Structure 1
Amino acid sequence: MSIKPVIERIAGGRVRLASFQGDTPVTHRSVAAIAAGLLAIAPAKAQQVPNGKYDVPVSARDRFYTSDQFSNTVSVIDPSSNQLLGVIKLGDQTPGNLSPLYKGQLLVHGMGFSPDGKTLAVVSIGSNSVSFIDTETNTVKHTAYVGRSPHEAFFRPDGREVWVSIRGEDYVAVLDGKTFRETGRITVPTGPGMTIFSPDGRYGFVCSSFSPETVAIDTRTKKVAGRVKQASPFCPDLAATPDGKQVWLTLKDVGKVMVFDARPPFNILKTIDTGPITNHVNIARTAKGQFAYVTVGTENVVKVFRTSDFAQVASVPVGALPHGLWPSGDGSRMYVGLENADMVAVIDTAANKVIANVPIGQGPQGVAYVPGAVTAGDGRSNLMPLAKALAKTQLELSGTGRSQVTLFDQGQVQILQAAVAGLPPKTDFILALADRPDGRGKLQPLAKFTTNPAGSAIVNAIGPIRQVVTDEASDDRRYLVVANGTPDAPGAPVQVQR
C-alpha cells in the first residue's frame, strides 16, 4: 500500500514525526519493529513535574523568573545566554508601598506557571494577591485577591485550576484556570505553605508552615486522601519526583528534608539533616539519574541527594542565602535564587558546579523555569531595566555562630535582612546598634527575635542603617550586634559586626 507517513517517535526526549515517501509496503509488524528500534536508540526522559513533559533543551525561547520580595518585581532571564532581560514591576519600594492609598503589590514572593508555559502565577504576600502574567508580553492579564498571606500558587497539570496556599488561614483557594476567579476552598491544616501536584494530576500535596502535617488531596473529589506527619511545623516548600514515586519537603525551622511515598498510604521513606534555614527543594532528572537539590541558607550551599538511596552526592557553594530553585527543561541546569545576594546562580547538574551568576531584583524568593515561554518575538516587551537604586550592602557578624546581613537600598532607607545561625535554640535575642566595635556600651534595639529549634532565624528591620554602620569617618558611626535578651532588657552581645 502507498502511505505518506506518519510514524511518531521519541528522540532525545523530544517528540518528532518521521515521514516516509513513495510506495513502500508497510505492515503493522514492521511499523512496530521500527518504532521499537527508535525507542531503544533514544529513550524518553521526563521533565521535572508538575507537567511531566518530555525533555526540552535549553533555548532562547525559555525563560527563568524570580519573584523579588523587596523590590516587588519579577526578574526575567534568558537561560540560553544567562542574561537578565529586565524586570516586570508589580509594586513600589518602601516606604512608598506603606501608604494607605497604595495600589501596587507588596512582598512579591511565590511563583507557579501554567502547563502550556503561557501564564505565570505570582503571589504577593503583603497584598493578598495572585498576579497572572502573560509570558509572551510580560503584562499582568488578571489579578486575583485571595485570603490572608497567600504563599504559593500552582496550576494543576491539566491547567483547569490554580491552587493557592493561603498560609495565613487554613485552606487552599481553588481558582478557575482560565478566568482566575475563585471557585472553591479546600480545608487543610492551619498555615498551608505550598501545593505541588503528582505528575499524573491525581493528588495535590499540601504541606504546612504552622502545623506538623502534610496532606494529600484527591484532585477529583477535593477530599483528603492521606496524611503525613511532619517532623516540625514549618514546611515552606515541597516537590514531587518526575517518576511519580516520591515527594520531598523542606523543614526550615529544624534544618531537615523529609521524603515520603507519593502513593497511598504515603509512608515516610527518609528524614535527612540538611542544615539551618533549609529553604526549598527541587528535582532534576539527568543522564546520571534522578537527584534532589536542596538550598541551605546558613551554609550558602545547595546540597544534592540521589533519590534512589538518599545519599548526598554533592554540596555546591552558591552565595548568600539560597532560596528558590528550579531545573531547566532538560535537567541539565539548576537555577537558584540567592535571597541575600540579589543574584541567580546557575548550576551545571552534570558537574554540580556554578557556571554563571546573573544579577536580579531584591530578595528573590519563589522561582520558575518555563520552557517555551516565548514563541514569537524577542520576549522583551514591557520589561524595565534593573534600577540603579536596587543596590545592596553586605555585612557579617560573628562570635557565637555567625550572621550574614544584607541591606537592600530603598532610596534613603534600607530593608535589613539577617540570616542568623549558630545560637542556642528557642532563645530570645535582639539585633541592635552598638556605640563600640566590641558591641559593649549602650545598645539601640532594631528587632527582637527568637531562634528556631536549629538555633537560627531570619531577622528583618527597616531604617537608614547603611548610613550609620558603614561611614568610618562619622561621629554617628554605629555597629550591628546580636545580643541576648529583649529590647526592654538587653544583655551581653554574642555576635558583632566584622
Structure 2
Amino acid sequence: MSARVLTLRTIAFAAALAASSLASAGQVPGADSAPDIRVSHHDRVYAAEQFSNTVSVTDPADNRLLGVIRLGDPAPTNFSPLYRGQVLVHGMGFSPDHKTLAVVSIGSNSVSFIDTETNAVKHVTYVGRSPHEAFFTPDGKEVWVTVRGENYVAVLDGTTYEEKTRITVPAGPGMQIFSPDGKYGYVCSSFNPEVDVISVADHQIVGKVPQASPFCPNIAASPDGKQVWFTLKDVGKTQVFEAKPPFDLLKTLDTGPITNHVNIVENAQGMFAYVTVGGLNEVKVFRTDNYEQVATIPVGNLPHGIWPSGDGTRVYVGLENADALAAIDTLTNKVIAQVPIGQAPQAVTYVPGAVAEGDGMQNLQPLGVAGNTAHLYLGAAGAHASGAENFPTSVALFDQGLLQVLQASVTGLKPKQPYVLGLTDRADGSGRIDALANFMTNPAGSAIVNAIGQIRQVVSVNAPQADAGRRYLVIVPLIDGHTGSPVQVQAL
C-alpha cells in the first residue's frame, strides 16, 4: 500500500472521527439525540430589528451580512393610516424543516412567514394585540403565538398559517418554547408571576411554575429534556425548573439588570446556559448541572437575543444598542466577530441548512438608512470616568431619515423611582431641563427608555460645537412633579 493511500485513509478516518464527535449531541430547539450540524455557507443567522423593521440575514461561515429582508418602513412613514408594512419587528422562530421563518411584528399584530431559501414573505397572519414570539411545535403541525397584549396563545395551522384555536392563559403571555419531544409547551408571562405548562396534544394547562417577578421576556428548554430556563427582565434574575412533572423550581440566579434572553448550548465541555444581561453589556455562562457561572463575556451595548449554531461551537448575540451581531466561540467564550446589522435587534435565530442551493441572496436589500446610528453614554453626575464600559447608561440614536429614535439602556438608578431623560444646555446638567421622556425604573434600578423626534439636530454627537448651540442628555429624578438635581449626565 502506498504512503499516499495510507495518508488519504488516515485523513478520512480523522475526518470521520471529528464528525462523529460533533454528532454526539444536538442543539436547541431539537433533542440532544439529533446530530450536530457543522457551520457552513448553507446556514443563516437571522435577527429581528425593531426600529428599521427589517430582518438581517448573515452567513455564519464567514460572519458576513448578506442583506436585510425589509418588512416595513421607518418612522414617520409607518404613521400613515394607509401604511401596509409591518411595525416593530421583534420576535422570531423557525420550522422543524428549517425552511420557514416566523417573524412577529408587535406594532402591526402580525406573524410574517418567510421562505428561508428565497427570503420572500409567503404569508402574513394577523393575530391579537401586541404578539411577542412565535414558534413551531416540534412536529411542525402548529405555530404557537404568544399574544402578550391579551390573555391567550394563538394556535396557527403549521401549513396554512391560519388561526385555528386559542389557549387561554393569564394576561400577558411572553414567550413559548416546547420540550424536545413535543409533549409540553412552556409559556412564561410578562404580566403575571407564573409559567404555564401546556399539553401540546390537547392544549390543556397541566402545570404552573411560580416566577420570582411578573416580567419574563424569554424561555428556553434544554435539549436533554430535563430543564427549562427563563429570564426575568425587571428584577435581573434567571430561573430554572424541571421540564417534566411535577415541574419543580430548581434554581434562581441573580444575573443582573435588564436580563434579556437565555439559550442552551451543548459542546465538548458539557451543557451550558448563555444569558444576555443588557444592563451590564455582558453574556453570562452557567453550567446546567450545578449552575456554576463559568464565564462572563463582554459583548457590546445592550445584548438581547441569543441562539447557538447547529453544532454548538458558537452562539450569536444581537446587540440592541450597537446595531450589531456578536459571534462567540463557545469553547473559549470569546467574541470572534461582530457583524453590522439593522436597528435595535431583538430576537435572534440560527437556522442550519436554511439555504440548500444557490447563494441565498434573492429578495435581500442593503442596510440603507438602517445602518446610520450614533452612540452616546451617560455617567454619574460629578464623576470623572473614561471608556464606554465605565458608564452605566448607553444611548443609541437610530436614524429614521426625517426623525431619530432614541433608546437609552439605563442602569445604576434607585429602584421603582420616577425619572426624566431630558436635554439641557449645560454640560454638568445644571441648566433648564427639556424633557424627552418620563420613566419609572424597575426593581433592579434600570429601564429601557425611548423617545422620537429630530433629536440628532439638538444633541451633539460629533465634534464639540459652540456652547450656545450644544445640548446635553441628562437624567434627573422627578420629585412631586418637579425635576431634581442631575444624577447622570452625558459623557463628553
Q: Output the TM-score relative to the length of structure 2.
A: 0.92
Alignment partner for residue 46 of structure 1, among 15, 23, 26? 26
Deviation, structure 1 residue 280: 0.1
Structure 2 residue identity aligned to 1:68: E
Is this contact kept in 1: 2:22–2:36, CA < 8 A? no
Aligned match of 2:105: 124
Is this contact kept in 2: 1:12–1:55, CA < 8 A? no
Partner SS, residue 469 of structure 1: coil
Deviates more, 1:440-449 or 1:155-164: 440-449
Structural mapping, 1:140-151, within 5 Å: 140-151=121-132
Deviation, structure 1 residue 488: 4.8
Aligned match of 1:437: 427
Aligned match of 1:457: 447
Deviation, structure 1 residue 467: 1.9
Partner SS, residue 492 of structure 1: coil
Aligned match of 2:253: 272
Deviation, structure 1 residue 100: 1.0
Structure 1 residue identity aligned to 2:302: L
Aligned match of 1:365: 346
Aligned match of 1:252: 233
Is this contact kept in 2: 1:61–1:375, CA < 8 A? yes
Structure 2 residue identity aligned to 1:47: Q
Partner SS, residue 97 of structure 1: helix
Q: Does 1:226 align with 2:218?
A: no
Write the distance in 2 (CA, Å) between the matches of 1:191 and 1:13: 45
Partner SS, residue 359 of structure 2: coil
Partner SS, residue 453 of structure 1: coil
Write the distance in 2 (CA, Å) between the matches of 1:265 and 1:320: 39
Write the distance in 1 (CA, Å) between the matches of 2:251 and 2:96: 30
Structural mapping, 1:325-404, within 5 Å: 325-388=306-369, 390-399=371-380, 402-404=392-394
Write the distance in 1 (CA, Å) between the matches of 2:99 and 2:323: 26
Alignment partner for residue 297 of structure 1, among 278, 287, 293? 278
Alignment partner for residue 466 of structure 1, among 456, 465, 469? 456
Aligned match of 2:415: 425
Write the distance in 2 (CA, Å) between the matches of 1:158 and 1:13: 30
Distance 1:261 1:324, change over 3 A: same
Deviation, structure 1 residue 486: 6.7
Aligned match of 1:482: 475
Q: Output the TM-score relative to the length of structure 1.
A: 0.91
Partner SS, residue 438 of structure 1: coil
Alignment partner for residue 86 of structure 1, among 64, 67, 72? 67
Is this contact kept in 1: 2:22–2:311, CA < 8 A? no
Partner SS, residue 457 of structure 2: helix
Partner SS, residue 368 of structure 2: coil
Structure 2 residue identity aligned to 1:478: R
Alignment partner for residue 141 of structure 2, among 160, 166, 182? 160
- CA RMSD in angstroms comes to 1.6
Aligned match of 2:3: none
Write the distance in 2 (CA, Å) between the matches of 1:344 and 1:210: 29
Aligned match of 1:493: 486
Write the distance in 2 (CA, Å) between the matches of 1:43 and 1:452: 43
Structure 1 residue identity aligned to 2:475: V
Question: What is the count of residue pairs matched by the alignment?
Answer: 463
Deviation, structure 1 residue 49: 1.6
Structure 1 residue identity aligned to 2:418: D
Is this contact kept in 2: 1:63–1:76, CA < 8 A? yes
Unpaired runs of 5+ residues, structure 1, are: 1-10, 15-38
Partner SS, residue 111 of structure 2: strand
Deviates more, 1:261-270 or 1:382-391: 382-391
Aligned match of 1:281: 262
Deviation, structure 1 residue 12: 6.3
Aligned match of 2:83: 102
Aligned match of 1:319: 300
Q: Give a deviation string over 1:265-302, Cα, whole Å, max 9, x none.
A: 10000000000000000000001000000000011010
Write the distance in 2 (CA, Å) between the matches of 1:376 and 1:179: 25
Partner SS, residue 408 of structure 2: strand
**Once the two structures are aligned, what percentage of the paired residues are identical?**
64
Is this contact kept in 1: 2:305–2:348, CA < 8 A? yes
> For the pair shown, which has the larger CA radius of gyration, 1 or 2?
1
Write the distance in 1 (CA, Å) between the matches of 2:100 and 2:94: 6
Unpaired runs of 5+ residues, structure 2, are: 1-15, 382-390
Deviates more, 1:480-489 or 1:387-396: 480-489
Alignment partner for residue 64 of structure 1, among 39, 42, 45? 45
